[in-house]
Amino acid sequence: MKASVFGVDGKRKREITLPAVFKEEFRPDIIKRAVLSIQSRNRQPKGTNPDAGKRKSVYRSKRRRAYRGTYGMGTSRTPTKVMWRRGMRFHYVGAFAPQTKGGRVAFPPQVSKVLEEKINSKERLLAIRSAIAATADREVVGKRHSVGKVKVPVVVENKAELLKRTADVQKMVEAIGLGDELERASQKKKRPGRGKMRGRPYRKRKGPLFVVSRRCDLLKSARNIPGADVSLVKDLNAELLAPGCQPGRLCIWSEDAMKELEGLFK
């Protein structure tokens, strides 16, 4: 497989041969498993206090003439706690038992629960290779991005890694022919439900993924584009390549990043 290398001005410079990873079999099931494994690590543990609902004495004797006993009182044997006392008369309310007011929760969430979903290292690497191969499938990429007539994957010359201004990066992407994609990714809509009260009122779309070979200026300049992400080629994972478990993300590779890809994820 071959791909065209675009200059910063959007013109085709030359053609290169794509690494063998782009011939990997498309496995959406493995990709989904790897993405869910990554997302499970970001879940915040939650749980109740182990002593919640158990902080009162609810013991009542069942023997005759026992102080605070239940014998002959015509009361149920539900665990109870004393609210007030007048001589030998008591007022009880249910406690401790799960079905009572002020009682414990029957099966509360526990902080000790293991939320992380493990995945085999070979499966994880296979998912990354498969997700990378999906970025070169025009039919798969076209389902979630507006690529027009541009062939995927998109490779740009190494000068693109030196762009310091976001406006220059946008001009380069538009010159390649992906202006419609930037317009699509910039759209956002009001989120339904309680999320508006929790600091996330808008739902935003995922745009292109810029893949670079080293620490460079593009890491900062491209991340300001709405919906865009930037990553080092060695830091790629299934979630970056397939957000929301949907493979086929539009990737813009630098030429050196494409060369480094040859020996990775084996």
Say how many domains are in the chain: 2
Q: Give the separation between CA 145 and CA 179, rounded to whole angstroms.
A: 11
Q: Are residues 95 and 184 in the same domain?
A: no
Residues 205, 211, 189, CA angle at the centre, nearest 5°?
5
Q: Are residues 187 and 91 in the same domain?
A: no
In a domain, 206, yes or no: yes
Which residues, listed in sequence order, are joined to residue 86 by a DSSP beta bridge? 89
- Whether 177 contacts 10, CB under 8 Å: yes
CA of 19: how far to CAs of 16, 62, 167, in Å? Answer: 9, 80, 31
- Span 164-168, mean pLDDT? 97
| Nearest to 37, CA basis, from 120, 130, 134 | 120
Q: Give the separation between CA 230 and CA 175, rounded to whole angstroms.
A: 19
| Nearest to 49, CA basis, from 106, 101, 6, 108 | 108
Q: Are residues 125 and 217 in the same domain?
A: yes
Q: Are residues 25 and 89 in the same domain?
A: no
- Whether 118 contacts 110, CB under 8 Å: no
In a domain, 53, yes or no: no
In a domain, 52, yes or no: no
Q: Decide which of 212 and 74 is more confident.
A: 212
- Span 20-39, mean pLDDT? 96
Per-residue pLDDT tens for 55-68? 988 988 888 888 88
Q: Are residues 239 and 165 in the same domain?
A: yes
CATH of the domain at 234: 3.40.1370.10
* Sequence-ordered list of residues with C-beta below 8 angstroms from that of 183, at least 6 positions apart, any chain: 146
- Span 163-172, mean pLDDT? 97
In a domain, 51, yes or no: no
Half-sphere exposure of residue 181, counting CA atoms within 13 Å on the CB side?
30
Range of the domain at 83: 77-102
* Sequence-ordered list of residues with C-beta below 8 angstroms from that of 135, at least 6 positions apart, any chain: 141, 152, 153, 241, 247, 248, 249, 250, 251
Q: Are residues 90 and 134 in the same domain?
A: no
pLDDT score recorded for residue 61: 87
Q: Are residues 131 and 236 in the same domain?
A: yes
Q: Tell whether the model's pLDDT for residue 99 goes beyond 90.
A: no
71 pLDDT tier (thresholds 50, 70, 90): confident
Instruction: Dig out the tokens for 91 from the structure.
Output: 């007022």
pLDDT score recorded for residue 17: 94
In a domain, 135, yes or no: yes
Q: Are residues 205 and 171 in the same domain?
A: yes
Residue with tokens 């970056």: 240
Q: Are residues 93 and 223 in the same domain?
A: no
Q: Are residues 141 and 12 in the same domain?
A: yes
**pTM reported for the whole predicted model:** 0.84
Residues 108, 114, 117, CA angle at the centre, nearest 5°?
130
Parallel, antiparallel, or unpaired for β 154-156 and 188-190?
Answer: unpaired
